[in-house]
Amino acid sequence: MSGKTVNSAILLLVIGNAMALVSDVFIKLMESGAPIFQFTFLRCLLTLLMLLPLYRYIDSRRLFQGLGVHLLRAHVHLAGMVCMVIAIGSLPLATANAIFYAAPILVMLFAVIFFRERLSGFAGIIVILRPVAIGWGAVAALGAALALAIAAVMVRQLPRKQSTVHKLVLSYLLILPASFALMIIEGAPWDPAILVNSLGSTVFILGYNITVLLAYKQVDANQVTSAEYTGLIWAVAIGWIWFNEVPDLWFLVGSVMIVVPLVLIGLQHRKLRAATVRSGSAGLTQAAAHSTN
């Protein structure tokens, strides 16, 4: 697998995580006690409407190919979405996102179990995810992290010939009935203000979903999940500027413990690629020499 492909996947995840944080801001700005399931349904519906102009990328002849995997992944995503809204509304933005970033470690763990990939992880995330007061917000954040990890790993089980748009449309189409049912059960009165928050959140989380699908389709999970930690930087920056959440020493120490291993691993991969290229060139030279004898 080329270094260019890995770098492309990493860039996608960095950009995607920035988009996810902006989406979180729209959720954070909702009033306390806002109907969660109404917000969830609206975001699913708006996502489908935004994807409709891209209908050309949907293979109508094989619309429901891989339905079982799509159905399971879609409802895992729905559960994660609900948990995320609860966590962001209950916890400081930086704290909620710090817990969300247990997801990359879970992705790598699942990749080892199901795809026999090599496991790599960093102690820095443990420092950032230091023990916090356990409450519904923290439990919901952990639930969101688990759902994100499962959904990310399941990307590789989806039909490879389906376009990214096809996968997203089918996922949100399958979510819609359950999210609508939950909204009806919730029974909250219609709140027009939530439409604005839903729209803003939808635009940016759609960008995140696209980057995740593209990134994890290209490379093994453990090669790029470290890039998702950049979302911690976005979380602290936005929390500091927008919500006056000042980063503490724990975050700074944990960030250093994450960034330094990433630099070392990047250098190691570069050396390995260079060695592979040299080895390949030597092999071609030897083959050419044999062919002339």
Delimit the domains of the chain by residue range: 3-292
**How many Å apart are CA 5 and CA 19, to the nearest integer?**
21
pLDDT computed for residue 256 by the predictor: 64
The reported pLDDT for the residue numbered 122 is 44
Tokens, residue 202:
């939808």
Q: What is the pLDDT of residue 288?
A: 41
| Distance in angstroms (rounded) separating the CA atoms of residues 230 and 264 | 16
Cα radius of gyration rounded to whole Å, the chain: 21
**Tokens matching residue 52:** 């409709």
Q: What is the pTM of this model?
A: 0.70
Spell out the per-residue pLDDT of the chain, length 293, in tens: 556 677 777 788 888 888 888 898 999 888 878 899 999 999 999 999 998 898 888 888 888 888 999 999 999 999 999 999 998 888 888 777 777 766 656 666 665 665 555 544 445 555 555 555 557 777 788 788 888 878 877 887 888 888 888 988 999 999 999 999 999 999 999 888 899 999 999 999 888 877 877 777 766 655 665 666 677 777 777 877 777 777 667 666 665 665 565 555 555 655 665 565 555 544 544 544 444 44
Confidence at residue 227, expressed as pLDDT on a 0 to 100 scale = 67
Q: Which long-range contacts (C-beta less than 8 Å, at least 24 apart) are formed by 12-15?
A: 12/211, 12/212, 12/214, 12/215, 13/211, 13/212, 13/215, 13/224, 13/225, 13/227, 13/228, 13/230, 14/227, 14/230, 15/207, 15/211
Q: Tell me, rounded to whole angstroms, the distance of Cα 246 from its chain centroid.
A: 25
The per-residue DSSP string of the chain comes to --HHHHHHHHHHHHHHHHHHHHHHHHHHTSPTT--HHHHHHHHHHHHHHHHGGGGGGS-GGGTTTTHHHHHHHHHHHHHHHHHHHHHHHHS-HHHHHHHHTTHHHHHHHHHHHHH-PPP---THHHHHT-----SHHHHHHHHHHHHHHHHHHHGGGS-TTS-HHHHHHHHHHHHHHHHHHHHHHH-PPP-HHHHHHHHHHHHHHHHHHHHHHHHHHHS-HHHHGGGGGHHHHHHHHHHHHHH-----HHHHHHHHHHHHHHHHHHHHHHHHHHHHHHHHHHHHHHHHHHHH-
- The CA distance from 121 to 139, in Å, is 23
pLDDT in the model for residue 210? 79
Report pLDDT for 290. Answer: 47
CB 145 within 8 A of CB 229: no
